[in-house]
Amino acid sequence: MAKPASYKFCFGPWNISEGGDPYGPTTRPPQTFDWKFDQLKKLGYDAMMFHDDDAVPDIDGKSSSQVIKEAKALKKRLDDAGIAAEMTAPRLWFSPQTIDGAYTSNDPKARQYAIDRSLQCIDIGKILGTDLLVLWLAREGTYLRESKSGKKSVELLVKAFDKMLAHDKKVRLAIEPKPNEPMDHAYVPTIGHALAMAQLTSDQKRVGALIETAHCILAGLDPADEIDFAMAFGKLWSLHLNDQNGLKFDQDKPFGSANLRSAFNQVRVLERNKYGSKGEYICFDVHPFRPTKVEHTLAHLDNSRRTFLRLVEKARSFDEAKVSQLIGERDYQALDQMVIEHLLGKD
């Protein structure tokens, strides 16, 4: 029998966070990048995700030669530690230039800033050895519908994507949809929207998607179905597994924390579609709960990976022949109970 696939894992420096929320200050001291970097391998992870300013802090105040110098120094550190860079992503939602949106801002100077910063982010990715540019379109949407045109915004997004595709013939864009937060309504809320947008670009083969569990749930959709949908198009190039307790603020809970059955179904479709066989990583976009003590600051990352691996075992030991039999008999009551008892440990 062929050896079952093994998975590669990653997280970003922002996933070791300090517990601040809009209603209160941080609850843990910040950890340095160096400390986070050193924990990665110890936790059994293989790669790190980088916003452009995770890779080069205070990026806006630096000359391009300085940015390149710092990216090269980071690449050396990554190589020395045996850590890969999974992706880079322009963090376009912090800057004063993007208050009214980045690629879809009503201000042409803001749009240019967003594009210039994205092209620079592609260059950083190239130095770090990744061709994957993740685009979470945080401020591409509206607080009030009358302030922008949806059709014009699609055109502006496609124009921005085309500039990125032309800038580097190897780069692949992975759009990370999210329906809301920080915006009231985002222009690219689901995987269907992301893949439809890909069709309008100058090189649709290089435009794909990243699915985040919590973002699917915020859109009222089933994460496993979204994964299946993207993989039916060969377009799932990265994944942010986490969890989310319904239609609330973006919670980024540990994987499986709110809905273990949904987590099982996500793992089952990943297994069925052989996610990872083209080098794709399992990334956990998770955060510690606000009350977490400093000594437990890494538990959410360790736990998410452990839960994932346990669910891989559960997916592999799920009696698929029995499933087919029950489907054939249209005995969905028995199928439902079979899933529950399998997850409870009674096989």
Q: Which residues here bind ligand XUL, judged by CB under 6 A?
A: 89, 134, 136, 176, 178, 212, 240, 250, 285
Which residue from 163, 156, 213 is spatially nearest to 187, judged by alpha carbons? 156
Rounded Cα–Cα distance for residues 251 and 6 (Å): 28
Please give the span between the terminal C-alpha atoms of the chain, in angstroms, as a whole number.
22
Q: Is 212 in the site for Mn ion (CB under 5 A)?
A: yes
Q: For residues 120 and 228, what is the distance between their CA atoms, to the nearest angstrom?
A: 33
Q: Which does 70 bind (CB under 5 to 8 A by kind): Mn ion, ligand XUL, none?
A: none
Q: Which residue number places its CB atom closest to ligand XUL?
A: 136
Distance CA 187, CA 194 (A): 10
Q: Which stretch binds Mn ion (CB under 5 A): 58-66, 118-126, 195-203, 281-289?
A: 281-289
Binding test (CB under 5 A) with Mn ion, winner from 172, 197, 285, 304: 285
- Tokens found for residue 310: 């346990």
89 binds, among ligand XUL, Mn ion, none (CB under 5 to 8 A by kind): ligand XUL
Of 37 and 93, nearer to ligand XUL (C-beta) is 93
CB atoms within 10 A of CB 44: 12
Residue 326 binding target from Mn ion, ligand XUL, none, CB below 5 to 8 Å by type? none
Interacting residues of 320 by C-beta distance below 8 A, sequence separation 6+? none
CB of 49 to ligand XUL, least distance (A): 7
Are 70 and 64 in contact, with CB atoms under 8 Å apart?
no
Q: Is 4 or 182 the residue whose CB approaches ligand XUL more closely? A: 182
CA distances from residue 321 to 120, 280, 318, 326, 327 in whole angstroms, order as listed:
51, 28, 9, 9, 10
How many residues of this chain bind Mn ion (CB under 5 A)? 3
- Choice between 254 and 268, CB closer to ligand XUL: 254
Using only C-alpha atoms, the chain has a radius of gyration, in whole angstroms, of: 20
The residue count of the chain comes to: 347
Minimum distance of Mn ion from residue 212's CB (angstroms): 4
Which position among 51, 206, 240, 305 is part of the footprint of Mn ion (CB under 5 A)?
A: 240
Minimum Å distance from CB 250 to Mn ion? 9
Report which of 307, 282, 284, 301 is spatially closest to residue 7, judged by C-alpha positions: 282
Q: Which does 243 bind (CB under 5 to 8 A by kind): ligand XUL, Mn ion, none?
A: none
Contact between 287 and Mn ion per CB under 5 A: no
For ligand XUL, the closer of residues 210 and 326 by Cβ is 210
- Smallest gap, in angstroms, from Cβ of residue 246 to ligand XUL? 16
Report if residue 243 touches Mn ion, rule: CB under 5 A: no
CB of 236 to Mn ion, least distance (A): 14
Strand partners, 342: none
Distance CA 316, CA 320 (A): 9
To ligand XUL, the closest distance from the beta carbon of 238 in angstroms equals 9
Find the shortest distance in angstroms from Cβ 283 to Mn ion: 8
Q: What is the DSSP letter of 253?
A: B
What DSSP state is assigned to residue 305? Answer: H
Shortest CB 346 distance to ligand XUL, Å: 36
Q: Which stretch binds Mn ion (CB under 5 A): 21-29, 113-121, 240-248, 288-296?
A: 240-248
Q: From CA 241, how far away is CA 161, in angstroms rounded? A: 25
Give SS3 for 111.
helix
- The answer to whether 347 touches 317, Cβ cutoff 8 Å, is yes
* Nearest residue (CB) to Mn ion, 15 versus 201: 15
Binding segment for Mn ion among 45-53, 285-293, 301-309, 319-327 (CB under 5 A)? 285-293
Give residues in contact with Mn ion (CB under 5 A): 212, 240, 285
